[in-house]
Amino acid sequence: MFGLSEIAIILIVVILIFGAKKLPDLARSMGKSARILKSEARAMKTEPTPSANDAPTSGTGTPRVIQATPGEATSPRPTTQPDTDAPQR
């Protein structure tokens, strides 16, 4: 796919762009991102998928409550979200 000379040129360009001091941090963050991606992909494979019989019916159950984050709170009470799954009358 890539020869030794192409990989060397790519490494030189990366060193020139990011600088030698930032390369360890860049590699560390890329490694963390790759680990997170792998763990999420593994979790998606092991997670059971809901079947059509397990799907909740609209109109049953409790209404969803939206909690505001501390910086966004305009009133001390949580507000309920309208049920968008229910048919319009």
Average pLDDT on 30-36 reads 95
The pLDDT of residue 14 is: 86
Average pLDDT on 25-30 reads 90
Percent of the chain with pLDDT over 90: 25
Average pLDDT on 32-47 reads 92
The pLDDT of residue 36 is: 96
Q: pTM for the full model?
A: 0.39
Average pLDDT on 61-78 reads 66
Inter-axis angle of helices 23-46 and 4-18, nearest 10: 110
C-alpha to C-alpha distance for 44 and 40, rounded to whole angstroms: 6
- Contact between residue 14 and residue 23 where contact means Cβ atoms under 8 Å apart: yes
Q: At 65, which helix (H) or strand (E)? A: strand 65-66
The answer to whether the Cα torsion of 66, 82, 85, 52 is positive or negative is positive
